[in-house]
Structures are given as C-alpha cells and as structure tokens.
A and B are shown apart, each in its own frame.
Chain A
C-alpha cells in the first residue's frame, strides 16, 4: 500500500468532498480541503475555473431572461376576477344553515313519532270497548247539548224542525268522529274496524 497517496487522488477527494461541503465560490472546500487548495496549484486553478464558470452562468442567465409584455396586468386581472368572497361567506353560513335544517328535520321526525305513538292504541283494546266508548262520548255530548237546545227551542217553535235536523247531524258527526278517531281495533292485530252505522243499529 502506498504510504503517500498521489496528489491527483488527494485532488479528486478534495474536489468530490467540496461538492457536499463546499461553501466558497465555485464550491471551494472548507476545512482540510481548504488547506490542500492553498498548497495545490491544480486545485486552485480548478476551483478558480469553477467560480468563473458559475459567474458566467449567472451572467448569461440574467441576459437570457425572457419578458412577457402585459403578463403582470393579465395576472392581476385574473386575481381580481378570482376574488370571490362568496365561497368563504357561503362556507361560514353553510354550517348554521345545515344545522338549522338538521334540527328542523329532527324536530319534525320527533313530532311525527310522538304523535303517532300517542295515537297508537294499545293491543288490549277490543272492538266492544271501542263501541262502548263511542256510545259514552255520544251520550255525554248529547246530555250537554240537548238541554240548552231544548230551552232555546221553547222560545221559537218555528225552528224546531231545523234544530232537530241539526241535532241529528251533530250526533251523527260525533258518532262518526268517535268511531274513527278514538283508539280502535283497526290498528290492532286481528281486529276488524267498526262499521260507521253500528252504534245506531245496536241502539235499535
């Protein structure tokens, strides 16, 4: 093994090292490499030519720069056109709007569910109970309406017929409402809906 490496090998090491650690002009080395360059004319010439080459590249880059007339104004105009604050506003309003829509939808669903649950009859209700409840409501309504109507008719007999017809219509309406909107077997499993004319038939 050669105890003293050739100057050329040292020069190559220094030049290669300078590519990674070079800090001076043309990538001149620092540290131990700088000491070698001070004593090596070949390396001084090499790094000098590197510095000159870099300077020439810089100069030619400056000379070779291309201009594009009107590009600045076109870019600025494009940026002005792109200044649309609406997206940011819509983004800021998008969250509350979405929240409001969601809350409204949740409220509507909750309301429907609760209303349906309230109107859902229990499975224990039988058709007979529904008919009895309808008759009870009908008689209660009749008990409250008839006395006042009778007193009123005593003062005017000419309206007797009309009042009777109104009374019969009202009673029919109450029966209809009681049968159709009170909890009935129509929504229970295996039960048949009551017939609208059933109470009258049962009363005979």
Chain B
C-alpha cells in the first residue's frame, strides 16, 4: 500500500512550481529500477532532509548519518511511495523514524539536548551562537517544547500542509492546528516581552 493515498497539488518549497510532475516521473523511474533517477531525487532533497534532522538534533554528524540512512531506506522502499505525492513528506517521515531509532527511543529524540557531543564552546562556536541569538527559530527552540518546535518547523519552514505535518509527526490534524496556534502565541508573546 502506498504511503500517501490522496493526491494534493502543492508546490515543494525551494523548487520550481512545475517541479512536481517531474518529480513524479523521477519516482516512477525509480520504481522501474532507474538508479540515476533516485540519485536525482537525492540531489534535490538531501539538503531539506539534512536540515530537518539537524534542526531537531542540533548535531551535524548525527544528522548526516540519519540523512544517509534515510535515503538508503527510501531507495529500498521506493515502490511504496505514491508518485503523485511530493516525496519530501515521505522522506521526512523516514528521517524522523530513523532518528528515533538512532537515539534508541522517542524520548531521546524529543529531549535531545542541543549539541550533545560538544562540551566545550569553541571561539567559532561562540560567534555562531551570538549570530544566532537574534534568530526567531533559536528563540523558538528555547521557548517551545521539542514537539511544538517540530510541528511549527514543518508547518512554517517546510511549508507542509496540516495533513502532511500530521502524517510526519503521527499526530491528528486538529492536534497539529492547536500546537501551531499555541506555539505562535507563545513566540509572539516572547517577542513582545523581549
């Protein structure tokens, strides 16, 4: 059974408006055994998958490993995806589950502290932290719960629909809407009080 069952016309962020039919053709070619077509999909979506995992883990090496495992799993199960749907949602679902397995449990995924590997702050890191201090997403990471941050990231940064966000996170659509509303309220309050 295909992971996505319904078709929805939407534009993948960061790609051209007419990219979806081309992506569908690539997915169909992959299902037919064209390895180069899948490599083209890798080139298109590696950055988004890596960024999503990196935003959730804040650990570059882990994010790269998880990204690599995600695409290998996707390659082995490419016949399960609906070519008429954007493949990025399916990829992020795989990435999320791979990350959960990578950290041994969902708890580790949701409560992973920032920069778990580095105990000392290098000068370059300090500069980076200073640069990031004004970033709304850094504030969101500090204010919001990890799950709320993830939902907000998918809805706003990845421009996923409520339905797709619910699929990736395993929540109901109503839950997603409520979480986004609350997250936005919290962040806007934080902005006004800051």
Contact = CB atoms under 8 A, between A and B. Distances in A.
State yes or no: do A and B come from one complex.
yes
Interface of A: 16, 18-20, 22, 27, 49-50, 53-54, 56-58, 60-62, 64-68, 71-72, 74-76, 78-80, 82-83
Interface stretch (B1-9, B103-111, B163-171, B174-182): B174-182
B187 A19 contact: no
Nearest to B35: A83
B42 A72 contact: yes
Given A20-B177, A66-B51, A71-B50, A61 B191 contact: no
Contact of A82 (B39, B51, B60, B72): B72
Interface in B100-126: none
B38 A79 contact: yes
B142 interface: no
B135 interface: yes
Given A66-B51, A76-B39, A27 B159 contact: no
A27 B184 contact: yes
Given A61-B137, A75-B67, A50 B184 contact: yes
B157 interface: yes
Contacts of B153: 61
Interface of B: 35, 38-39, 42-43, 46-47, 50-51, 54, 60, 63-64, 67-68, 71-72, 75-76, 132, 135-137, 140, 152-153, 156-157, 159, 174, 177-178, 180-182, 184, 187-188, 191
Contacts of A20: 174, 177-178, 181
Given A19-B180, A58-B159, A79-B38, 13 more contacts: A27-B180, A50-B188, A60-B137, A61-B153, A68-B60, A71-B64, A71-B68, A75-B42, A75-B46, A76-B42, A79-B39, A79-B71, A82-B72
B185 to A, nearest CB: 9
A61 B138 CA distance: 10
Main secondary structure of the interface of B (DSSP, over half): helix
B64 to A, nearest CB: 6
A147 B30 CA distance: 85
B137 A57 contact: yes
Nearest to B74: A79
7 cross-chain pairs, A with B, having the tightest CB-CB distances, nearest first = A19-B181, A61-B157, A57-B156, A72-B46, A60-B136, A75-B71, A65-B51
A79 B50 contact: no
A82 B72 CA distance: 7
A16 B180 CA distance: 12
B21 to A, nearest CB: 23
A27 B156 CA distance: 12
A82 B76 contact: yes
A68 B46 CA distance: 9
Contacts of A57: 136-137, 140, 152, 156-157
A66 B75 contact: no
A27 B181 contact: yes
Nearest to B192: A49
